[in-house]
Each structure stands twice: as C-alpha cells, then as structure tokens.
Amino acid sequence: MASYRNDMFPTARATIAARSRPEVAGPATVDAGELRARAARYRQLADALYDPRVVAEVQACARELDTEAAWIERQDLFSARMVTQRCRVGR
C-alpha cells in the first residue's frame, strides 16, 4: 500500500518525522520564542531599575536566555537537517 507521504516534498516529510519522534521534538524541548520573550521582559525590567548592580545582573540573565534560545534554534535546525537527509536517503 502506497503512503501519501511518498508524494510529499522532503521538507514536509522531515517536519512530520521530527514531530513524531520524541527524541527530536519532545515535550522537554523549550520554545526558543518563549525564552526570547522572557529575555525581552528582563530588559524592560532592567530599564526600570535604579541599582546598577541589579541592572547588570538582570541584563546578564537576559543575555543568557538569548544565548540559550540561539542554541535551541541551532539544535532544531540541525535536527531538521538530519531528518531531511534521512528522508532523502530513504527515497
């Protein structure tokens, strides 16, 4: 029996595969957008504070969140590429 996935583009198959595999896109994965939004809120908070030591600490937390979000995005991109390559090999 032929699967409807045989007629799909490799990227679409990779997306479906990534969403169906828990080790690639499991519930433990934190959304990078959420981290970036939290970092933005930290920056707004830092703008409203007066103590330079506290401002520096809050800004450092925002930078750490941005760094973590960038790492998650790179990992997601790498995982999607790996799945896409597997789909192309499996053709």
Residue 30 lies in a domain: yes
Residue 2 lies in a domain: no
- What lies within 8 Å, CB to CB, of 38 at 6+ separation is 65
Residue 1 lies in a domain: no
Gap between the Cα atoms of 25 and 61, Å rounded: 26
Residue 46 lies in a domain: yes
Dihedral, CA of residue 72, residue 43, residue 38 and residue 45, to nearest 10? 160
pLDDT average, residue stretch 63-71: 94
44-66 pLDDT per residue, tens: 999 999 999 999 999 999 999 99
- What lies within 8 Å, CB to CB, of 10 at 6+ separation is 84, 87, 88, 91
Kindly report the pTM of this predicted structure. Answer: 0.58
Residue 54 lies in a domain: yes
Using alpha carbons, select from 58, 61, 33 the residue that is nearest to residue 47.
Answer: 58
| % the chain with pLDDT above 70 | 60
Residue 71 lies in a domain: yes
| % the chain with pLDDT above 90 | 45
Number of domains in the chain: 1
